[in-house]
Amino acid sequence: MKNETKGIAPLIIAVVVIVVVAVAGVGVYVATRGGTGGGGGGTGSDIASATSLSFDVTESSTSSTMTFKAKDIGSTNMKLRIEGTAASYDFIYIINGATQTMWMYAGGTWLDMSSSYSTYWDTYSTMLSGYKTDLGSWTGSSSITVGTVTISNTQVNPSLADSLFTH
C-alpha cells in the first residue's frame, strides 16, 4: 500500500500544478485582452460561423502552450480537447458537452474530473469564445497576438474525429 501512495503523490502534485497554471493562464488572458491584434485586415467572418476549430495558443507570461480543438461549436453538445504544457507538465483536457463529462490526462493517467465539469465547461467555453473574438481580425495566413497570448496554426471547420473527444 505504501508504494501505491508514493506513486499517487507525484500525480496529485502534477494535477494541482496543471490546474493552477491553467487557471492562472485564464486570468492572465482575461486581464491582457486589451492588447492589439496582429495579422491586419479581414473580418474573420469564417471564425464567427465556424462549427469546428483547431488552433495553438502560446501564453508568453506563463510559458504555457495549448492546442485547442473544438467541435459542434455553438451547441450544448460542444466538445473541447485542450492539449498543452504548463510548468513542465503535459496535460490533455477533454470536455464533452453532450455527455457533460470532463477527463484530464496528467502524469500518464486519465482522471475523471466530471464532478468539476461545470467549472471546466464555464472556463474553457468562455476562453474559446474569447479566442474566437480575437480571431475576428485573422486574415487566414498569420497569427494573432493579444497581450501576452499568440494564437497560431488556425484551422476553420476542420474535420475532427469524435475519437479526439474520448479518452
Number of domains in the chain: 1
Domain housing 88: 2-159
| Residue ranges in the chain assigned as alpha helix (H) | 2-31, 45-48, 117-134
Kindly state whether residue 165 falls inside one of the protein's structural domains. Answer: no
- Residue 21 C-alpha cell reads as 497554471
pLDDT at 4: 44
Q: What is the pLDDT of residues 75-125, one digit of tens each?
A: 999 999 999 987 778 889 999 999 999 999 988 889 999 999 999 999 999
Kindly state whether residue 166 falls inside one of the protein's structural domains. Answer: no
Distance between CA atoms of residues 120 and 115, nearest Å = 10
pLDDT at 82: 95
Kindly state whether residue 167 falls inside one of the protein's structural domains. Answer: no
Q: What is the pLDDT of residues 134-155, one digit of tens each?
A: 888 788 778 888 888 899 999 9
Kindly state whether residue 82 falls inside one of the protein's structural domains. Answer: yes
Distance between CA atoms of residues 12 and 109, nearest Å = 11
Question: Higher model confidence: residue 137 or residue 162?
Answer: 162
State yes or no: pLDDT of 41 exceeds 90.
no
Kindly state whether residue 155 falls inside one of the protein's structural domains. Answer: yes
Distance between CA atoms of residues 24 and 27, nearest Å = 5
Are the C-beta atoms of 94 and 80 separated by less than 8 Å? Answer: yes
State yes or no: pLDDT of 47 exceeds 70.
yes
Kindly state whether residue 51 falls inside one of the protein's structural domains. Answer: yes
Kindly state whether residue 164 falls inside one of the protein's structural domains. Answer: no
Kindly state whether residue 130 falls inside one of the protein's structural domains. Answer: yes
